[in-house]
């Protein structure tokens, strides 16, 4: 069980890194796809949520920005890190 969890986390981390690379190269739509995969799989860190929120804000797609930030809060609360600065920072952006 731990091996699968570790593999999942490694895959998610790789998607985050690839997404950032795609962003830097201007391929925003493919970066969004990778970050969204991590959001759907409830990545336990703030990286894909922050990246997507920024992208959606720049695109003036506020509904998607809010959806991603709300999902981040849901994931972080589920992980019992409600008091985490990351969660408070994200809540402050809503």
Domain boundaries, the chain: 2-93
* pLDDT tens digit sequence for 34-54: 999 999 999 989 999 999 999
Average pLDDT, the chain: 87
What architecture is the 2-93 domain classified under in CATH?
Alpha Horseshoe (1.25)
Give the pLDDT confidence score for residue 3 in this predicted structure: 46
When pLDDT is cut at 50, 70 and 90, the band that residue 9 belongs to is: confident
CA max distance for the chain: 41
d(CA 38, CA 25): 20
Residue 78 has pLDDT above 60, yes or no: yes
Q: Does residue 15 sit in helix, strand or coil?
A: helix
pLDDT recorded at residue 83 = 54
Helices (H), 1-94: 2-24, 28-40, 47-58, 62-78, 85-93
Contacts 24+ apart (CB under 8 A), 77-83: 78/42, 79/44
């Amino acid at each position: 069980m731990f091996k699968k969890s570790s593999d999942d986390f490694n895959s998610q981390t790789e998607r985050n890194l690839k997404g950032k690379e795609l962003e830097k190269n201007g391929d925003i739509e493919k970066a969004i796809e990778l970050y969204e995969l991590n959001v759907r799989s409830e990545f336990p860190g703030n990286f894909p949520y922050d990246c997507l929120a920024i992208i959606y804000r720049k695109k003036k797609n506020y509904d998607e920005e809010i959806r991603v930030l709300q999902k981040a809060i849901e994931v972080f609360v589920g992980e019992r890190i409600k008091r985490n600065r990351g969660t408070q920072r994200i809540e402050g952006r809503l």
